[in-house]
Amino acid sequence: MSSLAKDDTAPPAQQRLPGAPVHVGVIMDGNGRWAARRGLPRIEGHRRGVEALRETVRAAIEFGLDYLTVYGFSMENWNRPVEEVADLMGLLKRFIRNDLNELHKGGVKVKVIGARDNLKPDIRALLEEAENITVRNTRLTLIVAFNYGGRQEIAAAARALAQEVAAGHIEVTDIDEAVFARHLDTAGIPDPDLIIRTSGEQRLSNFLMWQAAYAEFVFLPMHWPDFDRQAFLAAMAEFSARERRFGGVPGQYGKTLADVVKT
């Protein structure tokens, strides 16, 4: 890790294993069903979900990941009952107030992706504070997708590029994949190698639509509050046993972790 790390007292991250992902995305799904199965209100599932998130961030540091993106609230989640939306907003505020210090001490840089304009000013201020305080940390970048939608992000990038063309700053022919990616909220962040979704659903639900082009997917039947270090490790092991081809032929992109262990 770079000497620019703001908090030098944080423990060193574990050396990354060969074949291990650099960037993991997590669709934290199933809180409501976890609660319903226990006869509890949905909010209790969300509360337990925050605990699972804490454990996941700690594990990501231990596993030596560089980037962890967590899907906290989709643009479509505004369709939920107003009370549940209010509960989720409250949980986000509490998470930042309670956990920002520990995240900062652990060398975590927080980045929030998604729209800000329709969020309440107090939430916007907290998100900005979390980003500003941790901006120089380098151990793990925790990307929180909040009020996020992949299609909306792509449409916003297209709008921004159209404006640059209209203003004469760039030519239409300048627009390629790299230029487009620099206009997404994730500019500068490598694409996710692995996307994990809990709850048994096997869909993206508008998560990282552009960035997931060559991600590996691991779908777990467990609900998010039950996700823990062990489940994370198992998903990482499954990732490591896969061969990524990026359109090429078998063997072209090096060995999987499983191959390394065998030889």
Site string for ligand IPE, 79-118 (x = CB under 6 A): ---------x------------------------------
Residue number with CB closer to ligand IPE (29 or 193): 29
In the block, residue with structure tokens 């939430």? 123
Distance in angstroms (rounded) separating the CA atoms of residues 107 and 136? 9
Least separation in angstroms between residue 31's CB and ligand IPE is 4
The continuous run of DSSP H or E covering 177 comes out as helix 177-181
- Cβ atoms < 10 Å from Cβ of 263: 5
Partner interacting with residue 27 (select from Mg ion, ligand IPE, none; CB below 5-8 Å by kind): ligand IPE
Q: Does 216 bind ligand IPE (CB under 6 A)?
A: no
- Report the residue from 30, 107, 192, 225 that binds ligand IPE according to the rule CB under 6 A: 30
Q: Evaluate the CA torsion angle 54, 132, 67, 248 in order and state its sign.
A: positive
Distance in angstroms (rounded) separating the CA atoms of residues 225 and 254? 35
Residues 222-251 interacting with ligand IPE (rule: CB under 6 A): 224
| Encoded tokens for 262 | 């065998």
- Among the listed residues 163, 136, 144, the one whose alpha carbon sits nearest the alpha carbon of residue 95: 144
Residue number with CB closer to ligand IPE (46 or 109): 46
**Helix, strand or coil for residue 228?**
coil
Residue number with CB closer to ligand IPE (13 or 68): 68
Site size toward ligand IPE (CB under 6 A) is: 18
| Encoded tokens for 148 | 């996020």
How far from 196 is each of 50, 203, 205, CA to CA, in Å?
16, 11, 13
Residues across the chain: 263
Q: Does 28 bind ligand IPE (CB under 6 A)?
A: yes
29 classed as catalytic: yes
Residue number with CB closer to Mg ion (17 or 41): 41
- Report the residue from 19, 21, 29, 227 that binds Mg ion according to the rule CB under 5 A: 29
Q: Does 185 bind Mg ion (CB under 5 A)?
A: no
| Encoded tokens for 151 | 């299609």
Partner interacting with residue 73 (select from Mg ion, ligand IPE, none; CB below 5-8 Å by kind): ligand IPE
Half-sphere exposure of residue 235: CA atoms within 13 angstroms, side-chain side? 27
The alpha-carbon radius of gyration of the chain (Å, integer) is 19
Region of 66-74, 161-169, 176-184, 242-250 interacting with ligand IPE (CB under 6 A):
66-74
77 classed as catalytic: yes
Query: Which residues are part of the catalytic machinery?
Result: 29, 77
- Residues in contact with Mg ion by the rule CB under 5 A: 29
- Residues in contact with ligand IPE by the rule CB under 6 A: 27-33, 71-74, 77, 88, 199, 201, 203, 205, 224
